[in-house]
Structure 1
Amino acid sequence: MASELEELLGFLSSSSPQLRKGAVEIVSGLTGSEEGLRALVAYADVAIPALLNLLQDSVSGKEVQVAAAEALVNLSQDEAVCEKLAFHGAVAVSEGIIFKPERRCDNALSRLLVMLLANLTQIDSGVLALLQVGDEKLEGLFISKLVRSFCSSSVEESSDEDPFDHVGSILVNISKAEAGRKILLHPKRRLLKQIVQQMDSTNPLRKKGVSGTIRNCCFEADKQVENLLLMSEFLWPALLLPVAGKKIYGQEDTSKMPLELANPLEIEREVTDDPEIRIQALEAIYLIVLQDTGRKAFWGVNGPRILEVGYQDEEDPRVMEAYERVGSLLVTGGDEAGDQ
């Protein structure tokens, strides 16, 4: 089996277009099974450079590129393979194809490459490569391009057709790192402000990616709370609407809120079904109200009342615990703000 596999991998670099095409289709198929995946992982040092070359081989056509991308996405589920992919420059290769200057990358191929980047950014070397850390001229450039594409691509498409919805997972991954949060929160880049506005997407993958990214960025609230509050027009709805419950709020409550909160709470609305999103929103709120400035701003939008109503509708014990954690902080640390 080993010699046959070696021979097959050798065909990936054949001078014959037909052999290359046939070989990459077989390799892609092998990565779809656990047995095939294990066998190929053992030959990752041979497979990865050949698959990356095919990925860049636009002459061989879209089918070859897509098959190579599918194989790499499946292989990158293995952490050791991810390390090898990062070493061989898979991040830069993906960027070069997705944002090729002379023509827009095919949606199907773009989606696969974004999925590949989502896997690669689960390891530190992948995150650093994506952030382009250490290159003063380029640092953050690729992330800026991804955010722009994430925010401008059609959210009306189904998740299977949306080429950039997995950018949400990438943003969660990079925002776990301090260097990533620094780039996303840079006041001149305004990347987080763009990302936050995607919270109203109907695509659950986008929505979860945005909520996780906001939550991670709020770990910088002790240093950047004022910067976070500069986008309060978008931030508070993103955090509070998912945890506001099902109730239609009356004028007594909404009169104490800004319009961006009051308007959606005065009418029937879709409830956020995913408990993880509600937990992430509450954790972000907690990190903000830990700061005096953040706590006062939260009282200023009638945030405690929203949490009170939302808690009454909540049934998930983990989410209820997150509500209670914020509530206890408001009781012990928010007396002065609450009296205003």
Structure 2
Amino acid sequence: MVDMGMINVAMDILYKPGSSISPLLVMLLVNLTQLDVGVTSLLQTGDEKMQGLYVMKLVRSFCRSSDEASEDPFEHVGSILVNISKQEAGRKLLLDPKRGLLRQIIRQFDSPSPLRRKGVSGTIRNCCFEAESQLQNLLLISEFLWPALLLPVAGNKIYSEQDRSKMPLELGSALSIEREPVDDPEIRVQALEAIYLITLQEAGLRAFWSVNGPRIIQVGYEDEEDLKVMGAYEQLGALLINSSGTEEPTTETSN
């Protein structure tokens, strides 16, 4: 189907005025992008003038349609974004600071739609596989990135004023009130894996300490009951413990 140009056909119909089958077309794109050739087609790889245009359109629709109360024809775009971010070319497109796509996507992390939240979480996690070469671009959106990664794994306790004083405002404010826990363990695992990938890099580790991230991980772990999620906490915790001899004093000095 991809070889027959179905990606192009689906995108053309999807963006025709008055299209009434948007959800079906989006689901078709979800299925087609499970194949590498489908991702390549959607990315428009090889066409310098058009490359990334389809993805930009889908991201724009994904972010705009969340305001529609009655139906959400583009909520499954989150799954498309997960699929394309499994490929290096897709991750680089999403992380391109000139396009600002990940910045737009990440703002959907607190959407009431579970599908949207899972799509955003999986996309961020996949993009963090580029942390070694794209850490600067990830940290450029840190004001959105850290809340998206840390709030799902922070538990639902109210954090002390002392803890919050070492966090940026957007994190500290959210952790000063009672919160609904993130019930989906997959989202929590993806958030922890993304943090792990970032903190493998020295600059990423420093950035994590600077927002009091280790304290959030400690508190979140105390209330975790899912074994798989606990394993992800422990993997990250081991990395933090092994690096704390060099990183923690530096962070404390700078505060």
Same fold (TM over 0.5): yes
TM-score by length of 1: 0.72
- Given that 1:131 and 1:143 are in contact with CA atoms closer than 8 Å, whether structure 2 keeps it comes out as yes
* Number of equivalences: 250
- Given that 1:299 and 1:337 are in contact with CA atoms closer than 8 Å, whether structure 2 keeps it comes out as yes
In the other structure, the counterpart of 1:217 is 127
In the other structure, the counterpart of 1:246 is 156
Task: State the shift of 1:88 in Å.
Answer: 1.2
Equivalent residue of 1:153, what SS?
helix
In the other structure, the counterpart of 1:99 is 15
- Supply the distance in 2 between the matched residues of 1:201 and 1:261 (Cα, whole angstroms): 17
- Given that 1:295 and 1:334 are in contact with CA atoms closer than 8 Å, whether structure 2 keeps it comes out as no
Does 2:65 correspond to 1:153? yes
1:195-246 alpha-carbon deviations (Å, 9 max, x no partner): 1110010100000000000000000000011110010000000000000011
Residues 36-115 of structure 1: pairs in structure 2 closer than 5 A: 85-100=1-16, 103-106=17-20, 109-115=21-27
In the other structure, the counterpart of 2:76 is 166
Equivalent residue of 1:334, what SS?
helix
In the other structure, the counterpart of 1:177 is 87
Equivalent residue of 2:171, what SS?
helix
In the other structure, the counterpart of 1:21 is none
- Given that 1:117 and 1:170 are in contact with CA atoms closer than 8 Å, whether structure 2 keeps it comes out as yes
In the other structure, the counterpart of 1:72 is none
- Given that 1:222 and 1:291 are in contact with CA atoms closer than 8 Å, whether structure 2 keeps it comes out as yes
Equivalent residue of 2:179, what SS?
coil
- Supply the distance in 2 between the matched residues of 1:231 and 1:245 (Cα, whole angstroms): 23
Give the share of equivalent positions with the same residue, in percent: 66
When structure 1 is superposed on structure 2, of 146-155 and 132-141 the one drifting more is: 146-155
Across the aligned residues of Structure 1 and Structure 2, the Cα RMSD in angstroms comes to: 1.0
- Given that 1:155 and 1:201 are in contact with CA atoms closer than 8 Å, whether structure 2 keeps it comes out as no
Does 2:59 correspond to 1:143? no
Task: State the shift of 1:125 in Å.
Answer: 1.1
Q: Which protein has the larger Cα radius of gyration, Structure 1 or Structure 2? A: 1
Paired amino acid for 2:63: C
Does 2:239 correspond to 1:329? yes
In the other structure, the counterpart of 1:234 is 144
- Supply the distance in 2 between the matched residues of 1:318 and 1:154 (Cα, whole angstroms): 30
1:29-75 alpha-carbon deviations (Å, 9 max, x no partner): xxxxxxxxxxxxxxxxxxxxxxxxxxxxxxxxxxxxxxxxxxxxxxx
- Supply the distance in 2 between the matched residues of 1:99 and 1:183 (Cα, whole angstroms): 21
Does 2:187 correspond to 1:277? yes
Residues 251-330 of structure 1: pairs in structure 2 closer than 5 A: 251-330=161-240
- Given that 1:215 and 1:281 are in contact with CA atoms closer than 8 Å, whether structure 2 keeps it comes out as yes
Relative CO higher for 1 or 2, CA cutoff 8 Å, sep ≥ 6? 2
- Given that 1:155 and 1:203 are in contact with CA atoms closer than 8 Å, whether structure 2 keeps it comes out as no
Paired amino acid for 1:138: M
- Supply the distance in 2 between the matched residues of 1:334 and 1:94 (Cα, whole angstroms): 51
- Given that 1:111 and 1:164 are in contact with CA atoms closer than 8 Å, whether structure 2 keeps it comes out as yes
- Structure 2, gaps ≥5 residues long: none
- Supply the distance in 2 between the matched residues of 1:217 and 1:104 (Cα, whole angstroms): 34
- Supply the distance in 2 between the matched residues of 1:141 and 1:213 (Cα, whole angstroms): 18
- Given that 1:155 and 1:202 are in contact with CA atoms closer than 8 Å, whether structure 2 keeps it comes out as no
- Structure 1, gaps ≥5 residues long: 1-84
- Given that 1:153 and 1:164 are in contact with CA atoms closer than 8 Å, whether structure 2 keeps it comes out as yes
- Supply the distance in 1 between the matched residues of 2:114 and 2:67 (Cα, whole angstroms): 11
- Supply the distance in 1 between the matched residues of 2:140 and 2:244 (Cα, whole angstroms): 21
- Given that 1:98 and 1:104 are in contact with CA atoms closer than 8 Å, whether structure 2 keeps it comes out as no
Paired amino acid for 1:185: L
In the other structure, the counterpart of 2:28 is 116
- Supply the distance in 1 between the matched residues of 2:170 and 2:18 (Cα, whole angstroms): 36
- Supply the distance in 1 between the matched residues of 2:148 and 2:66 (Cα, whole angstroms): 19
Shift of the 336–90 alpha-carbon distance from structure 1 to 2, 3 Å rule, reads same
Paired amino acid for 1:292: E
Paired amino acid for 2:158: I
